[in-house]
Structure 1
Amino acid sequence: MSSVRLLVLGVILRRGITHGYGVHQDLTSWRADTWTSVKPGSIYHAMDKLEAQGMIRAEHSGDSVKRGPSRTEYTLTPEGKAEFRSLLEEALKSHDFQYLAAGIAFMEMLPRHQVIALLEERLTAVQQSAAFLRTLPTEALPSDPSKHPELVGLWAGYMDYAVAATQTLLQSLQSGKYAFIDEKSEMEGLKHDGSHLT
């Protein structure tokens, strides 16, 4: 549910103001259902809950649609913006693959140095988990599931992949790949000063 909550808040924040269908439209166009458990029902359920918790605020749109009444649009409250940032920071450190995927989708909405620090924290944690899993005893004929070589091997392999993928992402960010929110602000400032790159 945290990944869906992060995705919904992130879409609304990116758009500034939007209705539920706009959130659904963005997540569908991103094929978010292939890398998270987000579904149409979970989007609208999350929006209802976020509104009830004061994270998003409904605003009645004056624009009428071709069929039916005008739509209710939503924008983030200050509490919603704080919640988005908290969830994003948590996602970038998470062991949960879907939550991490949602975090990567919005990582550029944080400063680069902060994303690198969060991913370095994640790297340390997954390295420790991978090392621990390699110490677990296994049995050819396991006396209980925790000693099943296939089960331990599955998790050890997943953690080894998590280590390698996190290292690759960190290398990309450290080499200057992508444009983060602090850098976009700097670029805008350069444009206004008339000193942007040609």
Structure 2
Amino acid sequence: MSSIRVFLLGALAERGPMHGHQLRLLAEKEHVHMWTDFRVGAIYGALKRLVAEDLVEPVRTEREGARPERQIVRITDAGRIALDDLRLETLREFALKPDPFDLALARVGRDMADELPDLLRARRAAIVAAAAHHTARLEHVHQYLNITEQHVMQHQTHRLRAELDWLDSVLAALPAIVLDEKTRETD
């Protein structure tokens, strides 16, 4: 699954030919950084790959004033087929991506066991801050979102709450975790 491909191919299919900067502005306007797994700056590289794969094709170049020349691209028939396939794949499949945090927690070891409470509290504070920032952004853009986008943003809200709930359960078990780490390595 590639959310950047879905975004780029979908934007070109829905809005017609554009250049990379227009796609970047659209991504910023739609606040995709708030609910996708790609950064707006990654658009240019992904666009080049789509051209190389014949999923989009150049149609012309434009120049505005003294700005650099920009290549306008459009989605190809193969790109439309790929977009449909990507959308279906993404909507049908559930992807639970491993969090590297889990591996680090599982392998914290005796030497870091004493630091674990502070580390986990700092992580919790960071998640609380991220949730507050997300809520503030959501309040700011809510009026501009369609119903589906509102649900997408609520998905992020629920994921942040779930992360906090899980981390709170880890913090509640912290004395046992620290004790286990300290005794496990001596066995």
- Under a length normalisation based on structure 2, what TM-score does the superposition of the two structures give? 0.49
The structure that has the greater radius of gyration is 2
Structure with more helix by fraction: 2
TM-score by length of 1: 0.46
Q: Which has the higher contact order (CA 8 A, sep 6+)?
A: 2
